[in-house]
Structure 1
C-alpha cells in the first residue's frame, strides 16, 4: 500500500518529501522545503531539520536541542495557507496540528526562507496569535482533510 506524504499534499511520500529527506533531491521552492521540514519532524529526521536551517540560525542550534524539543510531539496535519517568493527570499504561512501529552495544539506561523548556495533554507518565522491549544467540537470534521469527524480520525486515542 502506498503511504501518502506526511505533509498532506495527497501525493505518495516516495514522490513528495522522501526524496528531499533522503538527500536525493533539493526543494524546488520554499513551500516544498516547508512541507519536507514538516515531514522530517513527523518522521523524527532531525538531521534534515537542522541542515535546512539558514547558516545564521544553524549556528545556534544542535541536533540534541531539536530532538529534545520535539521528543513528545505527535504531528497530525499540515495546512499550507499561502506562499510567495521574491528572488532569493520567500514566505510560507501554514498551520501545523500536533499532540503533546494528550493535548491538541495548532502552530500557525508565517515562515521566512532564504536561498543559500542555490538551495532554500528556513530562516525564521512569526508565530501568529491563534497558535495554541485547540478545542475540537464533538462533530467537527478533522483538520487533516480526511472528511471524517475529528474524533474518528486524528482525535482517536
Structure 2
C-alpha cells in the first residue's frame, strides 16, 4: 500500500498536507498550498478549499460545486510542472464520473496575505 501523501510527496499525508488542512500550520509557500489544496480535493476537505481561496474570489466559488467536483472524481496523481513564488503550473490526473481518464492542467496564481497563502485564480490549458 502506498502511504505517500496525495500531493505526490514521499511523506505520509499526516506529516504533509494534513497539517495544513487541519489548520495546525500555515502552508509556507504557494506550492505547498497548491499541493494541500489538491490533497483537500482527494479527501473532500471542502471547507479548507473555501478558506484558502482569496476573499476577493470566494463569491465565484460555490461550496456545493466544489464538493461535487471533489466527490465525483477519483484523484489519481498530481504533477507540478513549474512553481515560482506566487504561481504553480500543474497537472491533476483523475477519473471522472464515467471512469474516463482526465487531466486538469492549470497555472494557478496565489497571494500571500497576513502570513497566509491564498489561491486567487488559474489559467486552464
Q: Please, what TM-score do these two structures have when normalized by structure 2?
A: 0.93
Q: Is the 8 A contact 1:2 1:12 kept in 2?
A: no
User: 1:1-47: CA deviations, max 9, x gaps?
Assistant: 88210001111111110100111000000000000000000001111
- Equivalenced residue count is 124
After the TM superposition, which segments of 4 or more aligned residues of structure 1 sit over 4 Å from their partners?
A: none
Deviation at 1:102, TM superposition (A): 1.1
Q: Distance in 1 between matches of 2:2 and 2:39?
A: 16
- List alignment gaps of at least 5 residues for structure 2: none
Counterparts of 1:113-124 in structure 2 under 5 Å? 113-124=110-121
- List alignment gaps of at least 5 residues for structure 1: 129-157
Q: Distance in 1 between matches of 2:2 and 2:80?
A: 23
Higher relative contact order (CA 8 A, sep 6+): 2
Question: Is the counterpart of residue 98 in structure 1 residue 98 in structure 2?
Answer: no
User: 1:46-90: CA deviations, max 9, x gaps?
Assistant: 1111111001111232321211233310000001111111xxxx0
Q: Is the 8 A contact 2:108 2:119 kept in 1?
A: yes
Q: Distance in 1 between matches of 2:62 and 2:107?
A: 23
- SS at the partner of 1:77? strand
Q: Please, what TM-score do these two structures have when normalized by structure 1?
A: 0.75
Q: CA RMSD in A?
A: 1.4
Q: Is the 8 A contact 1:53 1:123 kept in 2?
A: yes
Rg larger in structure: 1
- Greater share of helix: 2
